Amino acid sequence: MVTLWWLARYRDGVVLTTSPTLRQVRTQLWKELHRLAESARTPYPKLKTTELPFRNDHNFAIGFSTNQAENFQDYHGRHVLIIADEAPGIAAEI
């Protein structure tokens, strides 16, 4: 729910979501995001599997899993939110 709020609240909002495995990102985290977006009062564009472009190229959410901290680089903005689901399974460097 915070992901959708962040995108609607901040015109330049970026949300990065992650879990220990891509399967968890897709079947748990983003499955719930799809459900919430479909029933939200705010009209959201159709979500891709693990991507939600909202207003423009600087306002989006993306879900991914990685074991390399540098893969989190290059996501910039004034309002960046990172959500780590099942955090104990994510390496400290991430």
pTM: 0.86
Work out whether strand 79-84 and strand 51-53 pair parallel, antiparallel, or are unpaired. Answer: unpaired
Q: Which contiguous run of DSSP H or E holds residue 8?
A: helix 2-9
Is-contact 2 10, C-beta < 8 A?
no
Show the CA angle centred on residue 49, arms to residues 3 and 74, nearest 5°: 60
Look-up of token digits 């996501």: 75
Per-residue pLDDT of the chain (94 residues; tens, 9 = 90+): 899 999 999 999 999 998 888 899 999 999 999 999 999 888 888 888 899 999 988 999 999 988 877 777 788 888 999 888 877 777 777 6
Domain boundaries, the chain: 2-87
Could you write out the DSSP letters of every residue in 72-90?
A: GTT---SEEEEEETTGGGS
